[in-house]
Structure 1
Amino acid sequence: MMRFAEFFAGVGLVREGLADDGWSCAWANDIAQDKKETYIANFGDNDFVLDDIWNIAKLPEQIPDNVFLYTASFPCTDLSVAGDRAGLAGKESGTLSALLDILAQKKQRNTHPPIVLLENVKGFLTSHQGKDIRNTVKTLNILGYTVDIIEIDAVIFTPQSRPRVFVVAVENTLAKQVMKLKAKKSILDTWWNHFHQNPQLRSTKLRDLIQSNPDLNWGLFDIPVPKKTALKLSDIVEQVAEDSPLWWDTEKQHYLFSQMSTGHRVVIKEKLNEPDYFYGTVYRRMRNGQSMAELRSDGIAGCLRTPRGGSSKQILVQIGHGSWKARLMTPREYARLQGVRDSFWMPNNANKGYFAMGDAVCVPAIQYISKHILKPTYDVWYQEQHSYRRLVKSW
């Protein structure tokens, strides 16, 4: 059975993404009570442990040993360009160290997982001038893993701009069978030429990172570039009644308009008389000490965030039929932008719903990684294990 342990589980969107391929969650952990409530409402309470991961690291034996995969969408707070960039030295993003400590302890007992999947913002690649990602890969190398890094933007799958980095670490013996390994002597070999074939999955920035760290154990998965979705923002919008109190009053709407640049006001005026409703999203941002309302009008939502302040909630504008309206996006719309099914239970409290989805992972991105990396790797491992067992029996 394809069993995995889910660290920094949140509301379980990694689990949601792995479900289609038949993965079974053996154990899950998060520190947030609100997220636990959503998690168990959707998946039950058989395997969820509510605790600080540093406490888990003190008792790693509570994590099942017969697990093939560890997943960890660890906090991005200190890695994001919107944060203070403390990196892995920060209190929240630094919790990755607890996971690495757990892996080290499992390694000593020879009960470590054959594959580890880490997910975070693209700032992980540049934090502390690349030292944070280098140290992470080096630690994984020391623990016996070969590492690939893949960049995936949720916009490939859903109408949300959400670029993320996925670090995939595979046990060295297994890596030889499922990855293209980098030769130690030269970075500019056939491996490197292959690397250039998928620039959408591995950017120039990532190429430079790998090239500047040739001493690390790098490998590549030969995977296809995912097909771009045709979905637009209009496809995920909930139908809210025209007289719903969710729509802002005239005063609040006019204030939003006053915060926009001339160009964004022109966009609204140009689309007023469109026969079909046009939808765009707005974030408030500080520009030169002034709060500005920035309209995105390409049919794609901005990157979802957790509601830690008024500016972090994404605003939806509806334009057409001679008028325009504004309101906050709904938690269900947030969920749809993360590729979550409508039957997924969401908290009744809007803020809890925003938190549930604002710092979660895009479900189709996980499905893609499972289909092209995780499950094929498990299949190779499984065949090898059973071939060995048959050989032992034949003796």
Structure 2
Amino acid sequence: MIEPARTSVFPRALAARLVSVTIGDYQAIGSSTIELAIAPRRTVLVAKGGTLASLLVQGIAEGAHIAVHALSDPEKPRHFRCEFEGDAGEHLVYGYDRRFQDLEDDDEPFPPSMRWEEHAARTDEANVDLWTVRDRRAVFGDGSRISLPSGVGALALAGDSADRVPEDLRRIRAYLEGIRWLGLALARPPIEDRTGVTLTGRSGVLWTSRGLDARLLSLASTLVIWFELHRDRYNKVVELCQRIGAPGELAVQITRDTSARADVAPQDRASITFEGVDFGRLSDAVIRRLELLVALVDPEATALLIEEPEIAAVPGSIVALLDVIEACADHRQLIVSTKSPHVIDWARPDELRFVEKNRYRDLSVRSLDFSELGAAQAHVAAGGKLSTFLAS
């Protein structure tokens, strides 16, 4: 999900990158524990039919979101682990386990519905624990301790108590908080039931719209705030629309409240249109294009998790969209699921990951093995397409 522009206490340019992510006990894909090796810049996931690759991308995004916000939804990944490498060669690992218990459990008179366990460490030459969370208590490497509410980890604590936690904790939280998930499905009513969207609130501070899905509200409010306060970002989104072959006019209109009670009950209103069509009535493809371009411009983003970008592309312009993603990603890592040969050809052979089910219907992820990788690299070097090699 894209978050509205805001001032952050965390560094924007993080001297770290993801090396691997592990998720497990995730209802959408079963009880399998899946480890995904992340390429330094771009990781492209493919699967034979279905949506397995996109579900894995979604699971990574949801695992990171839960790590930061300590959500109790049992359908989301119950196990999450990630490894980072810093520019100085340091290695950090972070992981949580969420354990759900029946309220009839006799271990305690009032047991929590969810127990949160968390661990982070340096695994380079230092090889030290950074912190652990167990039994509602965070214990840091220096021996200090902080009591936590039930079902809450140290990363969630860091948002309000950044002065009480180690620098490495802030780095890990900043990376995970900066992940932008650009999912395939949008929570929207049928086309015939869609209506216009008006945002209300206080100009330059907060915009909201009752009944609008959180993901769509985040996109709309970000566009309005950028139009008001960060016109360079807004103009960049407009420019990128042109570059991907979607040259329609993006327009924001704000109506100021001048009533006597403006300081008590914010009544400012804002609307967004693209090619003259109200935001609430735009097609899903147009919404996803805008969402992707905003994520590329967002200075707080650390990684972009994109499900099937080919669906968001202007028809016949997938190459232009991929070129813009490549040019604007900067230091951000890209994790992309796809069914498109164009996106496969955009990747290098060592950036491909194959999501597969074995005969027991367990999921796994693999890269090209040594011989496959050599053959694929030779095929591409000779002018062939990677998608053709995979199909042969």
Fold similarity call, TM over 0.5: no
Q: Which has the higher contact order (CA 8 A, sep 6+)?
A: 2
TM-score bracket relative to the smaller structure: under 0.3
Structure number with higher strand proportion: 2
